[in-house]
Amino acid sequence: MTAREIDERFQTPVVGRVYGWAASKAGHLRDLLFLAADFAGALLALKGSQWKYTRNLIYHQIIFSGIDAIYVVSVLSAIIGGVVMVELMSFSPGFQTDSILMNAMVGLIIREIAPIFSTLILVGRSGSAIAVELGGMRVKRQDDALEIMGINVAPFFHMPRIIGMAVSNMMLNGYFVIMALVCWIAISSFDPKVDLAAMLGLLAGAVRFSDVMLGLFKGLMLGSMVAIVCIHHGMSVKNSATEIPQRTSRAIMESFMFCFVLDGVLSVVWHMVFA
């Protein structure tokens, strides 16, 4: 049933519009899932020689998305670690002996703050670049030229970006946590009232294996998600260069939205299964 038919049946334009909007969003979600399935299929079908070539592209993507982003992540994680410590010191002067507070703050950094912030950096740096690059390739029909040469664009364009972004985000996530905690310790060491040994003891106890695993898993999933969304929008460019900024903007906003939604879903599922 079309949106117009629904409007006529319910005698109001609202239901039809809502239905049309929901159907379009569902279709978009289906396209993203198809792209993910296409990626998985291409990964399984890759031959030895093609894998060798794709592997180099994955290394390049990790360098661009992961290694090159270390500076930005260092600054951001140091600021966030420092701000959290300053807030803690002003909010609860005896926090270094409060295991509940320590567990909550360390858990928050590892499970939520690090995955979300590293993903936001990834979206801004690499996600936008991927959407622009692939959009430009579509306008120039470079993907068609590759297909004609028997080069499947899924392993050539999609796979290195998805794997590279997922691995990079996981690494950046871990690095973010380490930097934030190091900065946390460094700032607290300047406060003579803080018992550093006691705080380090509590801190070591607050870093739980399950939290670390959840953080890294989130990094992996959010990185893949950002790559899939940005690839989809980049490859959706049809003929005109003016579509590239439009698609890039949509890719960034959608990545932000999915980042928070997926992070929330993973947290809830993890809590229900493992807590």
Partner 1 sequence: MIEMENVSFSTGSTEVRGLSFRLGRKEKAVVLGPRFSGKSDLLLVCLGAHPYSDGTVRLFGQTLDMAGRGLPPDLAQKVGFVGKNSTLLDNLTVSANVGLPLSYHTGLSARETADKIGPLLERFEITKAGELFPHQISDAEVKLAMMARALVFDPEILLIDEPTNGDLDPNSFVKILRTMNSEDMKDVSLLVTTSSPSVATMEGAASYCMVDGALIPRSELGRVHNVAVDDFMGVVNDYSERQANGVRPFYAGLGPSGKRGTT
Report the interface residues with partner 1, using CB under 8 A. Answer: 48-50, 52-53, 133, 136-137, 140-142, 144-145, 147-151, 156
Residue with Cβ nearer partner 1 (37 or 79): 37
Question: Nearest distance from residue 145's CB to partner 1, in Å?
Answer: 3
Residue with Cβ nearer partner 1 (27 or 150): 150
Question: Nearest distance from residue 129's CB to partner 1, in Å?
Answer: 11
The CA distances from residue 47 to 35, 37, 51, 179, in Å, are 20, 18, 6, 40
Residue with Cβ nearer partner 1 (150 or 192): 150
- For residue 208, the 8-state DSSP code is -
Please tell me the distance from the alpha carbon of residue 66 to that of residue 29, in angstroms, as a whole number. 27
User: Pick from 131, 125, 141: which is nearest to 228 by CA?
Assistant: 131
The CA distances from residue 33 to 36, 209, 227, in Å, are 5, 31, 12
Residue with Cβ nearer partner 1 (145 or 257): 145
Q: Which 3-state string (H, E, C) describes 57-102?
A: HHHHHHHHHCHHHHHHHHHHHHHHHHHHHHHHHHHCCCHHHCHHHH
Residue with Cβ nearer partner 1 (74 or 142): 142
Residue with Cβ nearer partner 1 (16 or 160): 160
Please tell me the distance from the alpha carbon of residue 118 to that of residue 191, in angstroms, as a whole number. 29
Please tell me the distance from the alpha carbon of residue 41 to that of residue 37, in angstroms, as a whole number. 6
Residue with Cβ nearer partner 1 (47 or 193): 47
Tokens found for residue 253? 């906003």
Question: Nearest distance from residue 136's CB to partner 1, in Å?
Answer: 8
Residue indicated by tokens 């364009």: 157
Q: Which amino acid is at 262?
A: L
Question: Nearest distance from residue 103's CB to partner 1, in Å?
Answer: 46
